Amino acid sequence: MRQAGRYLPEYRAIKDRFGFWEMVRTPEIAAEVTLQPLRRFDLDAAILFSDIMTPLTSAGIQIEFNPGPCVTTPIRSHDAIRRLRLPHRSAIAPFVVNTIKMVREESVRPLIGFAGAPLTLAAYLVEGGGSADYGVLKRWLHDNTPAAHDLLRFLSDLTTRYLHLQIEAGVQAVQIFDSWAGIHSVRTYDEFGLPYLKQILAALDGTGVPRIYLAVGAAHLYRQIRTLPIEVISVDWRTPLDECRTLFPGKTLQGNLDPALLLASSKVVTEETRRTLRQGLGGPHIFNLGHGVLATTPPDNVARIVDIVHAYTRTEDDVL
Ligand code: 1CP
């Protein structure tokens, strides 16, 4: 999940001096921000500081951040899709390659690369930004099905190249963020989500790099998600891990403490972290939050959960 960001004073100090794109596109800064959480907490992995929108600018799309992504000219026509460029792998984000190399040189902790899922990227591109109900997106997908498939195919090709680029540069796992998967019906996800995810994930077969998939608010899609070629399923806080275990046989589960609970008392933080660990006992489990750290999180509570996770003995016969 997102572990850098505004809850850290050292992040805010950098953010006060630079724009978001400048931070992402300057390898020294992006590497520093990637490593900030690791300098403060004894975390087991780093996640690249970048954004799901990063590869899209290389296709000719203008994006600003305020604080979420704003697409200057939303993409809703065949013409706009035809104008998109599919750059050569090395031209997508050379600065990301340098950031990855710098982080790998500075830290022995595994580095996770990432990309947005095509349907989640399309949500921002078609709406022009975040939205309360994603009505424009949903209407557009169903009213303009051929154009929608053209856009999603383009995004899948770009994402495949972008993930290969990150793997070549040295990331040791990749995570696909499908933050808006949960807004869709099973039928819409079946047509516009799943096939493109399969295409991207299958293209990573044989790289030896574990593939992690996170779909937020998407328990109704788990029957579809079961069929994805992934090693790890990242679970948001809504569904207990022990319930997910039976749905995803043979997979590693990642998650799933509710990030909002890091705003609660230390008693709650401790109890809920231990509950998450117990619920993950039935098989391979990567402890994580169920979504990114909130900006109002006290850093001490992050330190607390890291300590609890490291002190936990997985063999203990804990009773819920
Ligand atoms: O810890 C890290 O270094 C992680 C870096 C990271 C990641 C993995 C950032 C930096 N963004 C992301 C992915 C991302 N970006 C997702 C998927 C993960 C998720 O659901 O949380 C999404 C949906 C975005 C889009 C985005 N970018 C948003 C959400 C807007 C919305 O519609 O809800 C926001 C606020 C951004 C800007 C952004 N990206 C990253 C940071 C730290 C920020 C905040 C910038 C700031 O104002 O300081």
Q: How far is CA 4 from CA 36, 40, 189, 271, 292, in A?
A: 7, 11, 30, 24, 9
% of the chain exceeding 70 in pLDDT = 98
- Tokens linked to 221: 């899609």
Report yes or no: 92 and 155 within 8 Å, Cβ to Cβ. Answer: no
Residue count of the chain, please give it.
Answer: 320
Q: Which atom of ligand 1 is nearest to the CA of 6?
A: 48
**Ligand 1 center to residue 271 CA distance, Å?**
28
Distance 214 CA to ligand 1 centre (A): 14
CA distance 304 to 266: 8
Model confidence at 318, pLDDT cuts 50, 70, 90, reads low
| Atom 8 of ligand 1, residue of closest alpha carbon | 2
Nearest atom within ligand 1 for CA of residue 124: 32
Q: How far is the CA of 312 from the centre of ligand 1 (A)?
A: 30
Query: Given the structure tokens 């117990």, which residue do they identify?
Result: 278
| First vs last C-alpha separation in the chain | 26
Q: What is the mean pLDDT of residues 127-141?
A: 97
- Tens digit of each residue's pLDDT (9 = 90 or more) over 59-116: 999 999 999 999 999 999 999 999 999 999 999 999 999 999 999 999 999 999 999 9
Average pLDDT rounded to a whole number, residues 246-253: 96
Q: Which atom of ligand 1 is nearest to the CA of 116?
A: 17
- Alpha-carbon gap, residue 207 to 167, rounded angstroms: 8
Let me know if 227 is exposed, middle or buried by CB neighbors in 10 A (0-12, 13-18, 19+): exposed
Pocket perturbation via mutation, ligand 1, pick of 14, 32, 52, 159 by most ligand atoms within 8 A of CB:
52
> What pLDDT, on a 0 to 100 scale, did the predictor assign at position 182?
98
* 130 alpha carbon – ligand 1 mean position (Å): 12
Residues with beta carbon inside 6 Å of ligand 1? 2-6, 15, 20, 34, 47, 49-52, 65, 67-69, 114, 130, 177, 179, 291-292
Give me the half-sphere count of Cα atoms (radius 13 Å) on the Cβ side of residue 31.
Answer: 17
Q: What is the pLDDT of residue 317?
A: 53
Residue 319 banded pLDDT, cuts 50, 70, 90: very low
Task: Tokens for 210, please give them.
Answer: 């574990």
SS3 253: strand
Q: Which atom of ligand 1 is nearest to the CA of 4?
A: 1
Q: Which residue has the tokens 């090395």?
A: 90
Query: If you ran DSSP here, which 8-state letter would residue 109 be given?
Result: S
Give the pLDDT confidence score for residue 191 in this predicted structure.
Answer: 98
Which atom, in ligand 1's list, is nearest to the CA of 130? 32
